[in-house]
Amino acid sequence: MSRRSRWLAAAALLVLAAVAFEGRAKRKMLDFEVYRTAGTRVVAGESLYRTEDGHWQFKYLPAFAFLVAPLARLPVVTARAIWFGISIALLVVLLNRSWRLLPDRRRTASFVVGLTIIALGKFYVREVGLGQGNLLLAVVVLLAVAQWRAGRNGAAGALVAAATVVKPYAIIFLPYLLGRRRFRAAGVFLLALLLAVWLPALRYGLYGNVQLLRGWWATVTTSTAPNLIGQDNISIAGMFAVWLGVGPVASALALATAALLVAVCSGVLLRRAGVPFPEYLDAAVLLLLMPLLSPQGWDYVLLVSTPAVMLILDRLDEFAKPQRWLAVACLALAGLTFWDVMGRDLFRAFMMSRIITVCALIEVGLVLRLRTLRAA
């Protein structure tokens, strides 16, 4: 793409973003309101975790509320506009870095990036419309991958710790670092995360910070079960809860499946890769695991699978023909099923079937297959 074309594309994106914000996001961005409310409470020195917030409880580490607190001082529409603009910029960076960091590229950018946008586009739109923070998580992880490629393990560890502040399920990178014997990265990760955990003590005091952490843990653990059977939950726990009903049998099967999935991924990722830059595929798998392992994994969180989807699309020829068709079918089922087209009842039945969860599990298997083929 020429420089002129890039500038035209950027201008068109800005116009579309402005129209989208003015038409809808300006008055909504419900998840961003959760962040903004938490930031307001930080400014006032109030408790962050309140049961009366209902479904819209703040479920992130207290340090993240400090990160968004500056926006809480701004007028509501201004704060939303800034966050919306940041989200659009992060989406561009996510697509760009996922492509640029992809090692030994086989296909053109227009093919891989274009089809990735088609496959994950509805999740991107949903993320930006809600004002969520998963784009920030994915971009920070990719920045860490870039640091690994440059041989800067300490910086990579700090960035992964920052990703954990944004979304706690990024903690999955800690056992990976230890398993890969990246002890410097793991040490920096732990130190940075420890500092982030105790940062709120500057505002709330030591005892107040302990109370915040207790409130966070209570919120996360008590709000999980009601969300498992939600229409948009695509986690493994949610899959079994819908299929078998919420209860000990579903919980046991979910735990066993998650443990088996982690064991298989660990066995494949932690052995000698035999490829020059294995960290890209490693990070792609770990990102894709996040919405599956987290009981609060919503469908739009699948946007973090952008690197995994690009890997699959770029390496389609590495798969046997049945596997190629399976990959295309999974991407289409997950990304090309729209409420507006299917209608409310059919779309709900589709989502409650948890087909998207099954497709995501298949995608994990396909990416791992690339490692066993030493194709990435």
Q: Which pLDDT does position 5 carry in this prediction?
A: 55
Q: Which helix (H) or strand (E) holds 23?
A: helix 3-23
Q: For residue 26, give both structure tokens.
A: 């300006």
Q: Which pLDDT does position 16 carry in this prediction?
A: 57
Cα→Cα distances 318→314, 359, 364, Å: 9, 19, 15
Give the helix ranges, DSSP H, for 76-182: 76-100, 109-130, 134-149, 153-166, 173-179
Q: How far apart are the first and last CA of the chain?
A: 26
Q: Which pLDDT does position 11 carry in this prediction?
A: 53
Q: Which pLDDT does position 52 carry in this prediction?
A: 84
From CA 224, how far away is CA 238, in angstroms rounded? 10
Q: Which pLDDT does position 376 carry in this prediction?
A: 75
pLDDT block averages, 10 residues each, the chain of length 376: 55 53 63 91 90 85 92 90 91 94 92 93 91 95 95 94 94 93 93 93 91 90 80 92 92 95 92 82 96 90 96 94 94 88 88 94 95 83
3-state secondary structure of 354: coil
